[in-house]
Amino acid sequence: MELTIYLAGEIHSDWRAKLKEAAQSLPYKLHFTGPMENHSRSDDIGEEILGEQPNAVFKDDAASAFNNLRTQVLLQKSDLVIALFGEQYKQWNTAMDASAALTMNKPLILIRAEKLHHALKELSRKATVTVETPEQALKAVSYIFETE
């Protein structure tokens, strides 16, 4: 069995790379997808496809359309979503991706530090499971593969 896991969350730290590296030692295959991690490309994709936009609002709107397309397709193809809520960056995209996963009835592992409990309590109750670290999320995925 192989799982495709969408990694939702901020793109400014290396949490995805660390999780993927840890997953390489597991005795089963995990395939990871997620948002565009090249921030400039994500911001500029609308103009790359549609051409120069008249102002920053239109540029953001155009980019959002293509980023939403990417997210929708990759979320729909995933078996599971892991959403990391970090402490340093605004987490609007993470909340949106987690909510979209729930709407698509995808299993959701929510990662959030204990100090973010109150801010994320409603989303945490909707998630399939909530953990505090990416390592715990990977252990939860590993449990899926256990036979005894």
CB of 111 closer than 8 Å to CB of 83: yes
How much is the pLDDT for 34? 96
From start to end of the chain, where are the E strands? 2-9, 29-33, 80-85, 108-112, 129-131
Residue 48 inside a domain? The answer is no
Residue 68 burial (CB count, 10 A): 12
**CATH code of the domain covering residue 130:** 3.40.50.450
DSSP one-letter string for 19-61: HHHHHTTSSSEEEEE-S---HHHHHHHHHHHH---SSHHHHHH
> Does residue 58 lie within any of the structural domains?
no
The answer to whether residue 13 is domain-embedded is yes
| pTM score, whole prediction | 0.93
Q: According to the model, what pLDDT value does residue 9 have?
A: 86
With respect to residue 22, please indicate whether it lies within any of the assigned structural domains.
yes
Given pLDDT bands bounded at 50, 70 and 90, which one contains residue 99? very high
Map tokens 């399939």 to a residue.
Answer: 128
DSSP three-state, residue 117: coil
Q: Does some domain include residue 69?
A: no
DSSP percent split of the chain into helix, strand, coil, nearest 5: 50, 20, 30
Name the more confident of 138 and 9: 138
Q: 90 or 34, which is more confident? A: 34
Measured CA to CA in angstroms, residue 86 lies from 13, 91, 134 at distances of 9, 8, 11
53 assigned to some structural domain:
no
Kindly tell me if the per-residue pLDDT of 148 is higher than 80. no
In the structure, what pLDDT confidence band is assigned to residue 97 with cuts at 50, 70 and 90? very high
Q: Is position 43 within any domain?
A: no
> How much is the average pLDDT of 12-33?
93
Closest by CA to 111, choosing from 135, 131, 81, 88, is: 131
Q: How many domains does the chain have?
A: 1
Which residue segment(s) compose the domain that 130 sits in?
Answer: 3-37+78-144
Residue 11 has pLDDT above 90, yes or no: no
Mean of pLDDT values over 96-117: 95
Residue 73 lies in a domain: no
Sheet holding 129-131, edge to edge: 29-33, 2-9, 80-85, 108-112, 129-131
Model confidence pLDDT, tens digit, residues 42-83: 999 999 999 999 999 999 999 999 999 999 999 999 999 999
